[in-house]
């Protein structure tokens, strides 16, 4: 068996060492143009040349939860795409979103601004019942986030394309439930996969349906959000602000309005980072299962190219 590693913007040596430790009797190599055929590939943003030169691949293991960039390429016809289904990212995402929700709800951003001015201030406590949180996307990450928010006694709503049930969460689904979900939400969290159907899903029309004083948290992909629509709704007073971790262009251009807008908090795509050891263990376990004869369709994280996730 041979495993090929082809990940841009990633230090190869630690990944190669971990994969070689998991498969000491097999060949694990970093891809170079013209390399010998491999059985499996561990990838992140691979060039098209790699995919064209490896038509025999059985599976591509993507070292991240999002596969939108990979699915835009011409993939080997026989290769399944397998994403990380957790690998330590869900707890990070829950931490990030809960922090952003609580920071807004408790007005810690306003307290911070007052402290910088040397001002000792007081604000009347707000009611959690007035701040229902809506989570768009109830996959592995979205469900973990929704359950974490419910632990803080926020009313939590969830929306997904197909029906889901999450304890403690009021769930909506499909186009029929989307408007009701939005109108029941004050703090909107986006954890959707990026597909043609979800691109620009947060626009003037949809965000206007949020309860007055709405707040937006985007930790999915920048292309889910129409930037100018968000700013217009914040400036109009309909939205109170936003916390954004993902952007259409990354790094975020220096001239972008998000940097300096007083009601927008920016973080550099750090809500949930890939944890190498956990990811290697997950990928190695799936490869070992395939080598033992398990059908690839039974693995967790296998992507349906038609759905995009």
- The pLDDT score that the predictor gives to residue 284 is 97
* In the chain, domain spans: 2-87+274-298, 90-266
CATH topology identical between 2-87+274-298 and 90-266? yes
- Is 221 assigned a catalytic role? yes
- The pLDDT score that the predictor gives to residue 4 is 98
* 170 phi and psi angles, rounded to 5 deg: -80, 115
The model's pTM is: 0.93
The Cα 225–Cα 234 span in angstroms is: 14
- Is 179 assigned a catalytic role? no
Tell which CATH architecture fits domain 2-87+274-298.
Answer: 3-Layer(aba) Sandwich (3.40)
141 touches 272 (CB < 8 A): yes
Q: Looking at 83, 157, 186, 221, which residue is catalytic?
A: 221
- The pLDDT score that the predictor gives to residue 132 is 98
- The pLDDT score that the predictor gives to residue 87 is 81
- The pLDDT score that the predictor gives to residue 9 is 85
Q: Looking at 209, 261, 269, 276, which residue is catalytic?
A: 269
- The pLDDT score that the predictor gives to residue 157 is 98
- The pLDDT score that the predictor gives to residue 210 is 98
- The pLDDT score that the predictor gives to residue 141 is 95
57 touches 40 (CB < 8 A): yes
CATH of 90-266, one of 3.40.50.720, 2.40.280.10, 3.30.2010.30, 3.40.50.1580: 3.40.50.720
> Which residue from 19, 11, 13, 14 is spatially nearest to 40, judged by alpha carbons?
19
Average pLDDT across each block of 10 residues of the chain; the chain has 309 residues. List them in order: 95 97 98 97 97 97 92 95 90 98 98 97 97 97 98 98 96 97 98 96 98 98 98 98 98 98 98 95 97 95 92
- The pLDDT score that the predictor gives to residue 65 is 81
- String of DSSP letters for the chain: -EEEEEETTS-HHHHHHHHHHH-TTSEEEE--TTPPP-SEEEEES--HHHHHH-TT-SEEEESSS--HHHHTS---TTPEEEE-S-TTHHHHHHHHHHHHHHHHHTTHHHHHHHHHTT-----PPPPGGG--EEEE--SHHHHHHHHHHHTTT--EEEEESS----TT-EEEEHHHHHHHHHHT-SEEEE-PPP-TTTTT-BSHHHHTTSPTTEEEEE-S-GGGB-HHHHHHHHHHTSEEEEEE---SSSSPPTT-GGGT-TTEEE--S-SSPPPHHHHHHHHHHHHHHHHTT--GGGSTTB--TTTT-
């Amino acid at each position: 068996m041979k495993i090929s590693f082809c990940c841009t913007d990633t230090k190869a040596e630690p990944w190669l060492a971990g994969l070689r430790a998991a498969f000491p009797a097999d060949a694990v190599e970093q891809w170079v143009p013209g390399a010998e055929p491999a059985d499996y590939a561990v990838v992140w943003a691979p060039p098209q040349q790699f995919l064209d030169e490896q038509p025999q691949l059985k599976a591509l293991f993507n070292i991240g939860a999002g596969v939108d960039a990979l699915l835009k390429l011409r993939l080997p016809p026989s290769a399944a795409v397998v994403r990380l289904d957790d690998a330590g990212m869900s707890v990070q995402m829950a931490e990030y979103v809960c922090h952003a929700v609580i920071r807004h709800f408790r007005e810690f951003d306003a307290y911070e601004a007052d402290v910088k001015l040397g001002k000792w201030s007081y604000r009347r406590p707000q009611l959690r019942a007035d701040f229902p949180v809506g989570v768009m996307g109830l996959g592995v990450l979205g469900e973990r986030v929704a359950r974490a928010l419910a632990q803080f006694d926020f009313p939590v709503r969830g929306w997904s394309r197909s029906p889901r049930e999450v304890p403690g969460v009021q769930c909506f689904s499909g186009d029929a439930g989307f408007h009701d979900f939005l109108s029941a939400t004050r703090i909107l969290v986006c954890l959707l996969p990026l597909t043609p159907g979800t691109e620009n899903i947060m626009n003037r029309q949809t965000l206007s349906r949020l309860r007055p004083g709405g707040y937006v948290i985007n930790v999915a992909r920048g292309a889910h959000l129409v930037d100018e629509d968000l700013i217009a709704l914040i400036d109009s007073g309909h939205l109170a602000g936003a916390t954004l971790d993902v952007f259409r262009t990354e790094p975020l251009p220096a001239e972008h309005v998000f940097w300096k807008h007083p009601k927008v908090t920016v973080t550099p795509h750090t809500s949930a980072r890939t944890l190498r050891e956990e990811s290697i263990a997950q990928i190695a376990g799936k490869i070992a299962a395939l080598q033992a004869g398990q059908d690839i369709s039974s693995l967790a994280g296998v992507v349906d190219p038609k759905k995009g996730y």
